[in-house]
Amino acid sequence: MTLVSRILAGGSTEGAVLALDEPLSFWGAFNPRTGVILDVHHPQCGRCVSGTVIVMSETRGSGSAPGAIAEAIRLRTAPAAIILAIADVNLAIGAEVAATLYGRSCTIACVDKGVLAILRNASCLRIAADGALTPI
């Protein structure tokens, strides 16, 4: 089964799916040095996102999110990809900055809510440069 996404930043990647139950802020609720979710009110507090494909409906945004995600990408503690139902231009900017400055990437993609529901149940996911999503 192949599903479709709109790539906002990055390109092809794959990784284990980490479906988040609630939106996550990448500024203050996430430690870019370790990749661990810090927000004590978040259901996945303590989970490490490094190398995973995060699947969540949306982020809790901040204008500082681009810096946090770029720093995590630089330190190699970022997720391999973040898939959202509601696009987040801040994360895309941070990922593009990291790609330009450090030559490292984190794919940011957007899907409709029906596809997001399917992805939440996948164990691993492959993302192609054209946005094709394949649960593996």
Predicted confidence (pLDDT) per residue in 96-118, tens digit: 999 999 999 999 999 999 999 99
Catalytic residue, chosen from 12, 57, 62, 64, is 62
Confidence check: pLDDT of 43 > 90? yes
Total domains, the chain: 1
DSSP state of 114: H
Confidence check: pLDDT of 41 > 70? yes
* Per-residue pLDDT tens over the stretch 52-72: 999 999 998 767 789 999 999
Question: Using 50, 70 and 90 to split pLDDT, how confident is the model at 127?
Answer: very high
* Per-residue pLDDT tens over the stretch 72-95: 999 999 999 999 999 999 999 999
Question: Using 50, 70 and 90 to split pLDDT, how confident is the model at 2?
Answer: confident
* Residue 129 domain boundaries: 3-135
In this predicted structure, which of 1-15, 33-47, 57-71, 112-126 has the lowest mean pLDDT?
57-71
Mean pLDDT within 29-50: 95
pLDDT at 124: 97
In the sheet that 81-84 helps form, which strands lie side by side, from edge to edge?
3-4, 132-135, 124-127, 13-19, 53-56, 81-84, 107-110, 6-9
What's the CATH code of the domain at 97? 3.50.30.10
pLDDT at 42: 95
Beta-carbon neighbour count of residue 33 at 10 Å?
9
Task: Please indicate whether residue 62 is annotated as part of the active site.
Answer: yes
